[in-house]
């Protein structure tokens, strides 16, 4: 299982990268995309949308199922990866390169409480 050490994670299978400008880039983990199978559709949140922590923010749909993508922390959506609208399979090809949206957190320290790589691996029960 591919779980980069430099990211934070949620138990609901989102990855979070802290950017130098204070924003958080959010995507779904390699584990999540593998479980879903081939993605055929991605619904992204609107830029400017304010999200509560753990609120459904986006939807990823595969040939198997549709799954909500949750906000890891409270904040405002400041960017979305529009390229995924026409090429959702990018998430399958590179889950950590194909981000979904960027969030300006309401609390800059909120992401400190998220899982590190070791914690995420333990949460999914794989090594």
In a domain, 6, yes or no: no
Residue 126, both tokens: 């794989």
In a domain, 109, yes or no: yes
Q: CA-to-CA distance for 45 and 8, rounded, in angstroms?
A: 21
Residue 38's φ and ψ, nearest 5 degrees, are: -65, 115
* Span 6-52, pLDDT tens digits: 999 999 999 999 999 999 999 999 999 999 999 999 999 999 999 99
Asked if pLDDT for residue 58 goes beyond 60, the answer is yes
* Span 78-118, pLDDT tens digits: 999 999 989 999 999 999 999 999 999 999 999 999 999 99
Q: How many domains does the chain have?
A: 1
pTM of the model: 0.94
| CATH code of the domain covering residue 96 | 2.40.50.100
In a domain, 79, yes or no: yes
Q: What's the pLDDT score for residue 126? A: 65
């Amino acid at each position: 299982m591919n779980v980069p050490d430099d990211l934070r994670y949620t138990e609901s299978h989102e990855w979070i990268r802290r950017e130098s400008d204070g924003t958080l880039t959010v995507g779904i983990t390699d584990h999540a995309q593998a479980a879903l199978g081939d993605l055929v559709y991605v619904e992204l949140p609107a830029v400017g949308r304010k999200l509560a922590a753990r609120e459904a923010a986006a939807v990823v749909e595969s040939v198997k199922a549709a799954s909500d993508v949750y906000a890891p922390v409270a904040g405002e959506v400041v960017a979305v990866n529009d390229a995924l609208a026409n090429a959702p399979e990018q998430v399958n090809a590179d889950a950590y390169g194909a981000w979904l949206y960027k969030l300006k957190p309401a609390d800059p320290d909120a992401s400190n409480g998220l899982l590190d790589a070791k914690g995420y691996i333990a949460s999914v029960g794989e090594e």
